A and B are shown apart, each in its own frame.
Chain A
Amino acid sequence: MEKLLMQATHFSPWKMHNFQFRQEIVFCCCCCLEAVFLKRFNSRFYFVLATVLWRRGYSSQQELVAHKVDLPVEMENPYKDPPKRCVLCGINVDYKNVQLLSQFVSPYTGRIYGRHITGLCGKKQKEISKAIKRAHVIGFMPVMYKDPTFLNDPKICDIRHPE
C-alpha cells in the first residue's frame, strides 16, 4: 500500500504518516469521500491518491481490522507455577509440640539449624526459633541435645545436602 503511494506521489518516506491519517478518514466513508477529494483538490497528485485509496478501500479496512484482532491479548501468564511453599506453610507453630520443634534442631548439640539447612521461609524460621527458645526456658525442651525419643523422626533438614 505504501509502495503504491510512493510511486504515485514521489514523496519522501517521512511524510507517510500524514497520508495514513487521510487513509483512515477515507475508510470511514470511502465512496462519498472520493468525490470530495476529487472536487476539493484538483491537482493530479490528489486525484491519483484518491483513486488509489478508493480502489484499495475495502481490502485495507479488512486488513486493519484483522490486524487488530491478531494482536496478543494482554493477560497474566496462565501457565505460571503457584508460588513455592515451605514445609511449614499453613501449619501452626507452638512451643508445646516439642516433636515438631525437635525436627529443626541438631541431634548432637541441640543447636537450631539455619535457614539454608531447614529451607523454611523467613516468617516460619523466625517462629520456629522463637518457639524453640521459649520451650528451652519454660522447661519443655532440652537445650544441649535432642530428645532421644525424637531421634528417629522423619528428617526435614539434611545437614549434608542443605537446601
Chain B
Amino acid sequence: MPRYELALILKAMQRPEVAATLKRTIEALMERGAVVRNLENLGERSLPYKISKHDQNHRRGGYFLVDFDGPPAIISTMMDHLGRDVDVIRPTFLKHPVSKTEECSGIIPVNYEDKLYTKKK
C-alpha cells in the first residue's frame, strides 16, 4: 500500500474542538482501510492568504500532517468527506515524500559546442 501524507488545515478553534475534528478525520481514514502512522501538529498560524470556505473567511488556521498507508481508492472518497466537513479549510493528499539524500555529484559542466553541432540526423 502506498504511503500518503494528508496536509490538513483546520479552522482556528479551541483545543477540544480541534481534538474532536482530528478524531473524526482519522476514524474516517481507518474505516476505509488506512493505517495511520503519525500525526504531527505544525502549530496554529495565520494563513498566507485569505481562504473562504463554507461561507466563512478564514485568516488563521491550525496546520496538521497525517502520515498514513492506504489503498489508492480512498483518496477520492476522503476528499468528498473532508469537503463536507465544516471545520476543515483545506485538505490535500500527497504522496509521502521519500527523503532521499542522493549523492549530488555537483554541477557537471556541459559542453554547449558539442550539443550544437552533433544534432545532425
Q: What is the interface of chain A, defined by CB distance below 8 A to chain B?
A: 82-86, 89-90, 92, 94-96, 121, 123-124, 134, 136-144, 147
Which chain A residues border B56 with CB–CB below 8 Å? none
Known pairs A86-B107, A138-B7, A138-B9. 9 more at Cβ < 8 A? Answer: A83-B108, A84-B106, A86-B106, A90-B103, A139-B49, A139-B51, A139-B90, A142-B49, A143-B49
Q: Is the CB of B107 within 8 A of A121?
A: yes
Which chain A residues border B109 with CB–CB below 8 Å? 83-84
Known contacts A90-B101, A138-B7, A139-B9, A83 near B48 by CB under 8 Å? no
Known contacts A139-B47, A139-B89, A140-B48, A92 near B101 by CB under 8 Å? yes
Q: Is the CB of B92 within 8 A of A85?
A: no
Taking CB atoms and an 8 Å cut-off, the chain B residues in 8-58 that contact chain A are 9, 42, 47-49, 51
Q: Is the CB of A137 within 8 A of B107?
A: no
Q: What is the interface of chain B, defined by CB distance below 8 A to chain A?
A: 7, 9, 42, 47-49, 51, 61, 63, 65, 89-90, 92, 94, 97, 99-101, 103-109
Give CA–CA (A144, B48) in the complex, Å: 9
**CB-based closest 8 A-B pairs:** A83-B106, A142-B48, A89-B104, A85-B106, A84-B107, A138-B92, A121-B107, A139-B90
Q: Of all chain B residues, which has the CB nearest A140? A: B48
Which chain B residues border A140 with CB–CB below 8 Å? 7, 48, 63
Shortest C-beta distance, A123 to chain B (Å), equals 8
Which chain B residues border A143 with CB–CB below 8 Å? 48-49
Output the residue of B9, B99, B104 with the most chain A CB within 10 A: B104
Output the residue of A89, A121, A139, A147 with the most chain B CB within 10 A: A139
Give CA–CA (A89, B7) in the complex, Å: 27
Known contacts A141-B48, A142-B49, A83 near B107 by CB under 8 Å? yes
Q: Of all chain B residues, which has the CB nearest A137? A: B92
Which chain A residues border B100 with CB–CB below 8 Å? 92
Q: Of all chain A residues, which has the CB nearest B98? A: A92
